[in-house]
Each structure stands twice: as C-alpha cells, then as structure tokens.
Amino acid sequence: MDRIRLVGGNQLNGEIAISGAKNAALPLMISSLLTDEPLVLHNVPRLADVKQLERILENHGVDIAVHGRRRGEDEGVGQRMTFHAADIVDTTAPYDLVSKMRASFWVIGPLLARCHEARVSLPGGCAIGTRPVDLFLFGLQALGAEIDIDEGYVVARAPKGGLVGATVAFSKVSVGATHTILMAATLAKGKTVIENAAQEPEITNVAECLVAMGAKISGIGTRTLTIEGVERLHGATVEVIPDRIETGTFAMAAAMTGGDVLLKGARPEHLQAALDILARTGTELIAEADGLRVRRNGKGIQAVDVETDPFPGFPTDLQAQFMALMTMSNGTSQIRETIFENRYMHVAELVRFGADISVNGQVATITGKPQLKGAQVMATDLRASVSLVIAGLAAKGETVVNRIYHLDRGFERLEDKLSRCGAEIERLAG
C-alpha cells in the first residue's frame, strides 16, 4: 500500500487549482440513469470514488466515455465525461460494488423511477458511523414504492405505472436521501414536496443538472424542494462545482503552516461558515476574482470553538482538518460533532504528533501546543487522512501517513498540489 512521507515546517506559498467536487460528481453521474440520452459532465475529478462509481454504472448498462484534454488546457482541468444510459440492462447493484462506497446506494432512486424496480445491496456501516438508510426507504415508500429487505438487499418496486408524487417530510437532514428522492421524484406522476431537504451546494448542482435535463424543480437551494414529475428527461451538459471541502482543507493547511496561497476557482460562498471560523483563528481570507486567497503570517493561531451542522453550517467533512489546526492554537477549543456519531477516529492519530485532545461523547477538547512532532500515523477515512497530512505539514521532522488509499478516494493530486506550494511531500510506493 502506498504511503505519504512529508517533512514539516515549510510555509505554503503559491497557487492551488481546486478540483471538481467529489460529492457533486457522484450524484451527477448517478443522474445519468434517469435518461436514455447522454449526460455530459465537465470538471469531473480523477478520483478512486469516481472510478468505483463508473464500475457500478457500467454494471447497469451505462456507456461511459472520458474525453481527452484540449489544446491549451492544463493538467489541472478536470475530466470531460459522457454517461449514456441508453438501455438499463440490470437493476441490481450488487454487494461487492455497493459495499465499497456508500453513495452507490443512491442509484436506487433513478432505477426505481425509470425502470420501476431496483435491487440494491444495503451499504452497511463504515468507519465514521452506522449510517442507516431509513430516510431513503421512508421517502421511496412515500412515493408509493413497495420495499422488502431480502438477503442484505433492498428490493424496491414502484406501483403499476410508476412512482407517484407525495410530500416527503424528512425527520433529519440527509444529503444522500435528498439526492435520491429528488432524482426519483423527477419521473414520478404529479407533485412531490421534499421538506427538511439538505441545502448543500452539491444538492443545488444536481437539482440544476436535473432542470437542464428537463425536470421541473422549484425551491432549489432552500429547505423545501418542489418537483413536478415529467414523462421523460433528456440529455444535458453540466459542470461539476469546485470542491468546497478541498478548498477548506487547503485553507486550513495554509492557516496552519503560514504562508500565502491562492485557491484558484474556489467559491467562498460554498463554505462561508468554515471561512468565518478560520477568520476568527487569525487567518486572512480574501475573495479574489479567480478564487480565494488564504494568508497567515507570523501571528499565532487563535483557539475557536466549532459545532458541525448541515449546510450552511460548519461541514462535518472539515471537522478533522480543523481539529488538526487547533492542535497548534494558543488556547483551548472545543469541537462538537453533531452529524456522525463516530467521527473522531483521527484523534488517536493526532495524539501521536503530541497533540493534547480528549473526547467526551460528541465533544472533543483540544489544548493547543506551540509545536507538533512528526510521527508514523495511519488513516481510517478520507477526511481523517488529510487531517494527518495537515498536521504533518506543520510538525517538526518527518511524518509518514500509512494507508493513503483513503486519500485517493477524495483528493486529486494532493502531494503534487502541496509540493508545488513548497511542501516537502512525496508518495512512497507500497
């Protein structure tokens, strides 16, 4: 297995091109199942999770083409890809494919809407918590689906003639359940109202894609989405939004090491809550025409308390990275993780750098130290892994991050992007 070796202490200076958002690209790719015409996506990141979803979609019969780079385009530009589900040949998403990535469960929405049946493996738990699917099933049942659980599979059938629009009032905000019901409702008969919908920018990216495909959706970007079902959707060309979690991650890295970095293509309005918190730590953030400039020169890192929340709150996907930053603050801060019950797997690893962190239920208390020391560490999930890279960039001496396949699931060319800004970082082949 590959590892990353880094030697901390260098400031980050330069430019980093922000890639397309993983968590937008995945549901956009899944939307292609809703139509027999091609869906063209621009700015798709080159990530292991994208590759994995390609396998799943191909199994359903989707033809996928990756288009070459055009003259003048640099290597930082994301992929242009076409997804063509002319004919769905299989409505089963098998365990060995779904178990590798939770988001693949979301195919249940479009399969049920278009083919009136789906058999999708339950995704199971993962490193950050149990992550049930009750909200998905509740929403699909509201649209008239009959659901059985059979040998670890969710077997869903639409009523004769297809799904029927309804009001789906979620008891809890769920990104995945919102994506799934939104996609399913586009082809349902009549009107669907999704109440307590997730408002993440990735939901908006998908909703706008569906509108470009002919769906009728109002309330995009709000807590209530209203969908008037249509007979069929058609092809479209859509751009994946820049990755706000990658943006926040590099912003926190620069805040921790000091320096001056321009995050090219970043959309500050997609992570305002995180930027507000970063500003309170003493980091300078400047919105520029082509991105976001992040600067911290010389002064210490202020301790700030944070609570994770659904958008527009502070994202859980930046919690680990922010904790890394707080390990070198000049005070004591508290983080409250409210989205996932087990998302503190990075704590034990950050402690290996000499960090002072204690966890009590949902709350982590971090007492900053003037200096961390490099260590051998191991990653347990995507965002946890990158928090270890951030800590290593600021720590004294050498750090080796093991099991970095997690990083490859969600960060494109991480070591390349950081080393171009002055970090001493390399990948060691396993």
Closest approach, Cβ 247 to ligand EPU, in A, equals 13
CB under 6 A: which stretch of 153-161, 312-320, 372-380, 391-399 binds ligand EPU? 312-320
Site string for ligand EPU, 370-399 (x = CB under 6 A): ------------xx----------------
Cβ 344 to ligand EPU shortest distance, Å: 14
Give how far Cα 370 sits from Cα of 12, 279, 281, 396, 398, Å.
Answer: 19, 20, 15, 11, 17
Decide: 430 and 10 in contact? Cβ < 8 Å. Answer: no
Q: Is 126 a catalytic residue?
A: yes
30 is a site residue for ligand EPU (CB under 6 A): no
Q: Is 72 exposed, middle or buried, given 0-12, 13-18 or 19+ CB atoms closer than 10 A?
A: exposed
- Of 316, 321, 327, 399, the one binding ligand EPU (CB under 6 A) is 316
The sheet with strand 79-84 has its strands ordered as 63-67, 79-84, 39-44, 236-239
Which residue's CB is nearer to ligand EPU, number 172 or number 280?
Answer: 172
CB of 26 to ligand EPU, least distance (A): 5
Choosing from 115, 126, 209, 421, the catalytic residue is 126
- Least gap, CB of 328 to ligand EPU (angstroms): 23
Minimum distance between the CB of residue 128 and ligand EPU, rounded to whole angstroms? 6
Among 16, 57, 135, 320, binds ligand EPU (CB under 6 A): 135
Tokens of 307: 């609570």
Separation CA 11–CA 297 (nearest Å): 9
Question: Which one of 19, 23, 32, 79 is in contact with ligand EPU (CB under 6 A)?
Answer: 23
Amino acid code (one letter) for 300: G
Copy the structure tokens of residue 329.
Answer: 């603050």
Size of the site for ligand EPU (CB under 6 A): 24
CA distance 265 to 121: 37
Rounded to the nearest 5°, which phi and psi values hold at 39?
-110, 125
Among 258, 232, 261, smallest CA distance to 246 is for 261
Q: Where are the alpha helices (DSSP H) in 327-378?
A: 346-351
How far is the first Cα of the chain from the last one, in angstroms, to the nearest whole number?
Answer: 4
CB of 362 to ligand EPU, least distance (A): 11
Q: Which residue's beta carbon is nearest to the bound ligand EPU? A: 176
Q: Which stretch binds ligand EPU (CB under 6 A): 9-17, 59-67, 124-132, 225-233?
A: 124-132
Rule CB under 6 A: choose which of 80, 84, 102, 114 binds ligand EPU: 102
- Looking at 259-344, list the stretches that DSSP marks H as alpha helix, in order from N- to C-terminal side: 272-280, 319-326
Chain positions 168 to 207 lying near ligand EPU, rule: CB under 6 A, are 172, 174-177
**Active-site residue list:** 126
Footprint of ligand EPU (CB under 6 A): 23, 26, 102-103, 129, 131-136, 172, 174-177, 315-317, 339-340, 382-383, 410
